[in-house]
Amino acid sequence: MTKSRVIEIEPLTRVEGHGKVTVHLDAQNRVSEARLHIVEFRGFERFIQGRLFWEVPVIVQRLCGICPVSHHLAAAKAMDKIVGVDILPPTAEKMRRLMHYGQILQSHVLHFFHLSSPDLLFGFDAEPERRNIFEVIRKHPELAKQAILLRKFGQEVIEATSGKKIHGTSAIPGGINKNLSLAERDHLLANHGQFLEWCRAAVTLAKSYVIEHQHLVKRFAHFPSNHMSLIREDGALDLYHGKLRATDAAGQIIFDQVDTDHFNDYLMEEVKPWSYMKFPFIKRLGNVDGWYRVGPLSRLNNAAFLDTPLARDAHLEFRELTQGSPNHSSLNYHYARMIEVLHCCEKVHELLLDPDLQGSDLRSSGTRREEGIAVIEAPRGSLIHHYRVNENDQVTFCNLIVSTTHNNTAMNRAVTDVAQRYLDGQPDITEAMLNHIEVAVRAYDPCLSCATHALGQMPLQVELVDADGTCIQRKSQYIDEDTYGL
C-alpha cells in the first residue's frame, strides 16, 4: 500500500481524564507525526463569568477530582490580589502551604504507585491484564500498602487544612477560614516517621529503576527542551509561591525572577485547529522553539537546591545523573516526582511543628484591585490563574493555563518520538506498541479534563490516519471496537 495512514489510540488508560492520540503515517508507512487530541470542551472560563469573586476558589476546584487543591489555592492566591493582600498572616500562608504539600504528596503517590508502577514493575510490554494496580497489590503487597497509607496521609493533611478530603473551602480571599487544632496536629504527627521512611524508600525505588533501565530511559521519549517553574528568590524549589524561571536545554537562563503578574509579557498561547488544548510558548523564542516543559522534572532542573535535608541530598543525586546539566528524559519525571514526595513529607513535618499553625490571625484585607494573577506549582507543573473582577465583585474575565497545557507540545513530542521508534514501518499495531505511547503520555501525568477546563471527563482513543486525512484504523487500548461492536 502506498497511501499514508493514521493510527488512533483510545482510551488512554491511567491518565487523569481522557483524550485521543492520532498517529499520522506518510505514503511509505513511516510515522510523520503523532498528536494528542483533546476532544471535549465545556468552557469553564465562560461559566465563571458573572460569579462573585469569593466563590471562585470553591468553584474552580471542581475542574478536577485529582488536584482540586491546586486550583483552590491558585484561585485563592489570585483573589488575595483582588482584595489587595500581598502578604497573608503567617497562619494563613502556612495552612495553605501545608494543604498544598499534602496535596502534592497524595497526587504524586497516586500517580506513581497506582497509575505508573504497573508499567515500571511489569514492563511496558507486559500483557494488559497484568499491567494494573490490582496486580501490583497481588505481587507487591507491601508496596501497595505503603502507597495506600501515604496517599491517605496526604488526604488527611488536606482534610485538616481545607475542611474536607476533597473540595474543601478553607482558602478565602485574603486568608484562610481555619487554623490547625492541636488534636489535628497530633493526629498528623502520629505516624510521620513511618511515612518519611516510606518516602525515602520510594525515592530509592524510582532511582534504581532509572539506573537499571538506563538504556531505555535515555532512549524513551528523551528530547531536549526548555523548562519552566516557579523559583524562590534564593533559587530553592518553592511549590507554593515564587517568581518564574525558564531555562533552555543547556540549562542557561531564558528568564528569571519574573514577577508572576507579568507572565503575559513572557508567555503566549497558540491555538491549533485539531486540539482544544492551547500550545503555550516563550514569547521571545517564538512558537517553534519557545515550547517548554513544566512539572517535577523541570522544577528539579531549575531549582538550585531543595530546602529540606533528605530531599536536598536526593536532588543532588538526581543532578549527578546528568552531571549537573538538565535532565531531559520523560521517564525521569517519575524519579523527580518521588523526590518531591520526600520533600513534601519533610515540609509537612516542618509545618506541623510550627506553632504559627495554631494562630488566630487568619485573614487580611487591603485596597481592592481589578486584576488578580497567581501561579502555583501544581503536582503536574505551573498552574496560572488570571482573573478580572468588576466593581460589583463579579468575575468578568478568566484565563487558566494548567500544567498539562504547558506540557502540550512536550507530550506531542513524546508521542511522536515513541511512535517513530516503535510503530514505524511495522505492518501491524500491537498492544505493546500502543502501550509505549501511553507510557510516554503518562510520564507527564496529564490531567486532560483540567487542560480543556471541562467540568466532566472525556474518552480517549488512538487513530491511524493516512496522507489524505482518512482514518484507516482505530484502536482502543483495552476495548476492542470490533469485539464490543462500538
Partner 1 sequence: MSETLASTFTIQVDGQTVTVQAGQSIMEACDAAGIYIPRLCDCEGLVPQGSCRVCCVDINGRIQAACTQPAAPGQVIGNETPTLNAHRRTLVEMLFHEGNHLCPICEASGRCELQAMAYRLGITQASPYPYLQPVRPVDASHPDIALDNNRCILCGRCIRASRDIDQKHVFDYVGRGIHKRIGVSAARLAETDASLEDEAIARGTCPVGCILRKREGFDTPVGQRLFDRRPIDLDNAVQHHIPTQAVPAHIESDPP
C-beta of 301: minimal distance to partner 1 in Å?
Answer: 37
Q: Which of 259, 371, 393, 481 binds partner 1 (CB under 8 A)?
A: 393
Q: Considering Cα of 326, then 329, then 335, then 337, what sign does the dihedral take?
A: positive
Question: What DSSP state is assigned to residue 307?
Answer: S
Nearer to partner 1, 62 or 421 (CB): 62
Please choose, from the candidates 422, 418, 376, 424, the residue with its C-alpha nearest in 3D space to the C-alpha of residue 400: 376
Work out how close the CB of 53 gets to partner 1 at its nearest, in angstroms, rounded to a whole number: 8
Q: What are phi and psi of 291, to 5 degrees?
A: -70, 155
Which string of x and - marks every residue 373-392 that binds partner 1 (by CB under 8 A)? Answer: -------------------x
Nearer to partner 1, 62 or 192 (CB): 62
Q: Phi and psi of 427, rounded to 5°?
A: -70, -30
Binder to partner 1 among 26, 32, 42, 59 (CB under 8 A)? 59
> Three-class SS string for 252-271?
CEEEEEECHHHHHHCEEEEC
Should residue 364 be labelled a site residue for partner 1 when binding is judged by CB under 8 A?
no
Half-sphere exposure (CA, 13 Å, Cβ side) for 388? 4
Pick the closer one to partner 1 by CB: 181 or 257: 181
| CB atoms inside a 10 Å sphere around CB 250 | 8
Nearer to partner 1, 178 or 207 (CB): 178
397 binds partner 1 (CB under 8 A): no
- The residues in 146-175 that bind partner 1, with binding defined as CB under 8 A, are 162-164, 167-170, 172-173
The C-alpha cell that represents 474 in the structure block: 482505530
Rg for the chain, CA atoms, rounded? 22
Query: Helix (H, G, I), strand (E, B), or coil: what is residue 9?
Result: strand
> For partner 1, which residue of 29, 39, 45, 62 counts as binding (CB under 8 A)?
62
The closest of 474, 478, 461 to 11, measured between CA atoms, is 461
Candidates 37-45, 52-60, 262-270, 417-425: pick the segment binding partner 1 (CB under 8 A). Answer: 52-60
How do 171-172 and 175-176 pair as beta strands?
A: antiparallel
Say how many C-beta atoms besides its own lie within 10 A of residue 422's C-beta. Answer: 20
Segment interacting with partner 1 (CB under 8 A) among 45-53, 117-125, 207-215, 372-380 = 45-53
Least distance from C-beta 209 to partner 1, angstroms? 39
Indicate whether 54 belongs to the interface with partner 1 (CB under 8 A): yes
Q: Which is nearer to partner 1, 167 or 200 (CB)?
A: 167
Q: Of 51, 152, 243, 283, which one interacts with partner 1 (CB under 8 A)?
A: 51
* Closest to 152 (Cα-Cα) out of 126, 114, 97, 117: 114
Contacts of residues 189-194 at CB distance under 8 Å and 24 or more positions apart, as own/partner, are 189/349, 189/352, 189/353, 191/153, 192/345, 192/348, 192/349, 192/352
Longest CA pairwise span in the chain (Å): 73
What are the distances in angstroms from CA 207 to CA 331, 340, 342? 11, 13, 13
**Region 407-466 residues binding partner 1, contact defined as CB under 8 A:** none
Q: x/- binding map, residues 177-196, to partner 1, per CB under 8 A?
A: xx------------------
Q: How many CB atoms are located within 10 Å of the residue 186 CB?
A: 10
Nearer to partner 1, 394 or 473 (CB): 394
CB of 238 to partner 1, least distance (A): 26
Name the residue among 331, 433, 447, 303 with its Cα closest to residue 379: 447
In degrees rounded to 5, what are phi and psi of residue 228?
A: -130, 145
Among 45, 55, 156, 269, binds partner 1 (CB under 8 A): 55
Whole-number minimum distance, CB 61 to partner 1, in Å? 9
Instruction: Choose one: 35-43, 51-59, 234-242, 333-341; the region binding partner 1 (CB under 8 A).
Output: 51-59
Instruction: Pick the binder of partner 1 from 1, 27, 52, 190 (CB under 8 A).
Output: 52
Give min distance, CB of 243 to partner 1, in A.
Answer: 29
Least CB distance to partner 1 at residue 458 (A): 21
Task: Using the minimum distance from each CB to partner 1, give the nearer residue, 53 or 255.
Answer: 53
Residues that bind partner 1 (CB under 8 A): 50-52, 54-55, 57-59, 62, 83, 162-164, 167-170, 172-173, 177-178, 392-394
